Chain A
Amino acid sequence: MKSPKEQTLHTRRDFLRTSVLGGALAYTVPLFLEKTFLCLDTMAAATSGQITTGKDGTILVVLQLAGGNDGINTLVPYGDDAYYKARPKIAIPKADILRISDYAGLHPKLTGIHDLYAQGCLGMVQGVGYPNPNRSHFRSTEIWQTGSDADKNESQGWLGRYFDNCCQGSDPSSVGVAISGQTPQAFASPTPKGVAFSNPEQFRYMSEAASDPASADMFMRQMNQPTDAGHNSLSENSGGSIGMLSGPADDDGSTVEFLQRTALGAQMSSDKILAITRKTKSSVNYPQSQLGNSLNLVGRLIAGGLPTRVYYVSQGGFDTHANQLPSHERLMSDLSAATTSFVQDLKAQGNFNRVLMISFSEFGRRVSENASGGTDHGAAAPLFVMGGGVKPGLYGNYPSLTDLHDGDLKFGTDFRSVYATALEKWLGAPSEMVLGKKYPLLPFI
């Protein structure tokens, strides 16, 4: 019987030989790479307290509602007259509300989300925000993505710091996947990790640009193999440790090695993701929308066994300054339908219990409607937590609609408490290392 360590090494070696370097090329895997992967696995295990075991680890899906979702018309305080007073044109009639409590209920188009609540796998954290709220999309998004205080500037993303602290050395697609043309700032770290793509068919080397694509592909792989030269410099410079792998460059060889490792990681990720998306089809129908397509893709990647633990998707269009009833209705309807499909998909795969999805938006909107039948930038708002491990219910209190801060709801729960809860209770990661401070954990898991 092999020890787990030997098995890991064996698997990695096989994987590298067969899938990455390609059957056509009978190259041996450089020794330093094998060692690297072994060290990295061990280190990741030591850091995070649990080994990511590919097909059975827990998964976090972060859903960004970009533009500032109107939280008040999402989780509606229908039991409060102040709501109807503040929003004579755009308040949702009591009769249409999907009730959660005597005070709050869901937007009528969130039927699927309401069902998930009834089935016991949806929670709503109320009044989430941060001190000294900023009403700029740009700045408030940055605050949410980096987890920084409003009066501090932090350039690394909260997930980037999680990757750095807990997922060192895995190939990038095993660390985090963002369904997006650009890497979200939440993933930012000194040495970027994770991958971002909107279409898996574009996340690959386009060898067909060449007049002889097969040869272009083969030679590209050959040129992008780390050399054994890396072996010497790696062990010399890092004293046998693998700290160098993600640390800052401080010697000559390491920039090239860094590029070589990234190139290899890119190929591994691309090969894995394409192999999965080309063979895996969803068993359920998703709505034909950006969010529907993104969650469909995440569903297929999970079904195909990608060992990634963090996915990032987004839905845009929430900046509803004018005539918001029809546009917000469409957004709610899409959110509900896409989430419902995703849940059905995960359940059909038997993966539902592995997944936690958290939604967030850079801010909520003002309590009072504006003169155009819309709402302007606000502050605190509710967010959804959904998944097989979620305890259903309302968390935190609904902020008062009359005791306001500059016309906005006062926050009751710091958004970093939500992050800390997901990190500690779901991903099993030390949240203080990632967030820089201890934040109270919430009981939604």
Chain B
Amino acid sequence: MFSPFPEKLWDRKMAAHLLDRAGFGGTPAEVDALVGMGPERAVNSFINADDDSDLFPRPELLMPEQRLVYKQREKAAATEDERREVRKELGKAEAATMLELRLWWLNRMRYTAAPLQEKATLFWHGHFATSNQKVNDSYLMWQQNDTLRRYALGKFPDMLKAMSRDPAMIRWLDLGDSRKDHPNENFAREVMELFSLGEGHYTEKDIQESARAFTGYRINYEKGQFHFKEKDFDSGTKTFFEKTGPWTGDDIIDAIVSQPQCARFIGKKLWVFFVAENPSEETLSGIAELLLSNGYDIGATLSTIFKSAAFYSPKAVHHQIKSPIQWIMQTTKMLEIPLPDARVLENSLASLGQVIFAPPNVKGWDGGRAWISASNLLYRYNLAAYLLSGKARILGGGNTKTAMIPLKTIAPTSVRGSSDQLLDELSFRVFNYPLPPKDRATYLTFLEKHSTPYADDTVRDLMQLMMSTPDYQLT
């Protein structure tokens, strides 16, 4: 099923595809480095990249002990008005640290030397889709992000168990109230419906029984950590997937992942995120088999996929709609500029529909075509125009400044004397993909109106045009 991609076909287009999908894109120089490695080593450079967590120290967060001080002040306050004041202050501190956290992760995606780890963490964030809108705690959100990163390329059953003990998840799906005499079914339902099996592969009875196994899962707020409250746990026998025993939450997860459907469900989501929409039945069974034979090891599974011919098929390459985050990462990497300033970045991702730590609902982001509407397509075009021109009013004013595009690097003097050379240089950088003949003809017509050697303005205008197209939305 996953026959290896032939080395002799390995070229810039294929290497760029790997760089875009296993990471967040890059410059032509980075693509060429991968070309030189050959497919096997190139893929390994993503899978085995050194963890560079030390370069991204944890951002300033509202720590559990600081939160406790607020709570104590609230308790000690004499009047309701004072209490409200304290809560307001807490809310402000919370909002400020959440902003820090979002910027921290976005910058990590932008600059990490282990991009697959971040890409996979983003995948799992969409999968477990926990929103701070309900959790309301930057420390817990950071902790979940850290856990997702730790298991992102590890074994899925371990991650699922870690998520069942994750304080943000416990709050998100109301597990913290679940006790022996009153089990809450929310987590038990979602762990199967959204995280492992999909609708229709379990019974209501399975939900009721497994909910009993997840009782007693608590958050220790003083430490911001998981805590198991034995007293609230239902240690009685449960019948789950037709087996009876005194099952714990971990037993339930083991039973879930032993269902072949789990490998199909996770396999399909991985395939759609990293490769292409609508995998065939054959692909689906192939990837499920692959996951099972690797003991659900995500890194090993992705390694085989990234080395396979299927990953480089014409149906996959340049056929995925960039998520807003992918768009902003690929764009700033390709233009060799930092992320835009916080206000623009926040507004843009909100307008484009992908605010990290705030997925729209428990199902996460739909992805694919759901990323694109008439309004946000125009917004994408204008965001490109803003990044290229640095004109603040393009996005509605303000005093924001963008970095200068290094036009001398992007279009060196050596290519400015010929329209063909300039187009080749720019189109590879911008699209990572050959231009359709009709588009090439249009760009040439555009260049005919300008004289050689092409000026910076011409280069910038041409890039704006290239980025204001349906084609630029694809990766």
Known contacts: A192-B373, A262-B372, A265-B374. The answer to whether A248 contacts B350 by CB under 8 A is no
With A138-B133, A138-B134, A205-B468: A223-B442 Cβ-Cβ less than 8 Å? yes
Interface: B351 (CB within 8 A): yes
Q: In chain B between 444 and 474, which residues have their CB closer than 8 angstroms to a CB of chain A?
A: 445-446, 449, 457-458, 460-461, 464-465, 468-471, 473-474
Question: Nearest-CB distance from A365 to chain B (Å)?
Answer: 16
Bound Cα distance A337, B375 (Å): 30
Decide if A216 touches B461 in the complex (CB within 8 Å).
yes
Quick one: which of A225-273 are within 8 Å of B by CB? Answer: 227, 248-250, 252, 255-256, 258-260, 262-263, 265-266, 269-270
Give the contact-size bracket for chain A.
35 or more
Q: Which residue of A lies closest to B361 (CB)?
A: A155
B362 in the interface, Cβ–Cβ < 8 Å? yes
Contact A173 B374, beta carbon cutoff 8 Å: yes
CB distance from A87 to the nearest CB of B (A): 15
- Across the interface, which residues of B come within 8 angstroms of A185, CB to CB? 360
A-B contact count (CB 8 A): 166
Interface residues of B in 364-390 (CB under 8 A from A): 366, 368-370, 372-378, 381-382, 385-386, 388-389
Q: Is the CB of A220 within 8 A of B465?
A: yes
**Known contacts A209-B388, A252-B314, A266-B377: does B131 contact A192 (CB below 8 Å)?**
no
B131 touches A255 (CB 8 A): no
User: How far does the alpha carbon of A193 sit from the alpha carbon of B363 in the complex, in Å?
Assistant: 20
B150 at interface, CB cutoff 8 A: no
Fill in one digit per residue for A140-167: 1 if any B CB lies within 8 Å of its CB, else 0: 0010000000000101000000000000
Q: Which chain B positions have C-beta within 8 A of A249?
A: 277-278, 368-369
Q: In the complex, are the beta carbons of B373 and A216 less than 8 A apart?
A: no
Do A172 and B373 have beta carbons less than 8 Å apart?
yes
Q: Which of A60-68, A194-202, A327-335 lies on the face that meets chain B?
A: A194-202
Docked-complex contact A203 and B461, CB < 8 angstroms: no
| Cβ contact of B80, chosen from A199, A204, A371, cutoff 8 A | A371
In whole angstroms, what is the CA distance A203 to B81 when docked?
Answer: 43
Q: How far is the CA of A6 from the CA of B457 in the complex (A)?
A: 47
Q: A322 on the interface (CB 8 Å rule)?
A: yes
Residue numbers in A under 8 Å from B351 (CB-CB): 181-182
The 8 closest A-B pairs by CB, nearest first: A259-B470, A209-B385, A192-B373, A266-B374, A371-B80, A211-B457, A172-B374, A209-B389
Beyond A192-B369, A269-B374: 5 further Cβ-contacts under 8 Å?
A155-B363, A185-B360, A202-B396, A207-B385, A255-B277
> Could you list some 30 contacts between A and B, CB below 8 A?
A139-B134, A153-B363, A155-B361, A183-B375, A188-B360, A190-B366, A191-B369, A195-B375, A196-B375, A203-B378, A206-B394, A209-B382, A209-B389, A209-B391, A210-B460, A210-B465, A216-B461, A219-B465, A222-B442, A223-B439, A223-B469, A249-B277, A255-B319, A255-B321, A255-B369, A255-B474, A256-B471, A259-B474, A270-B378, A372-B80
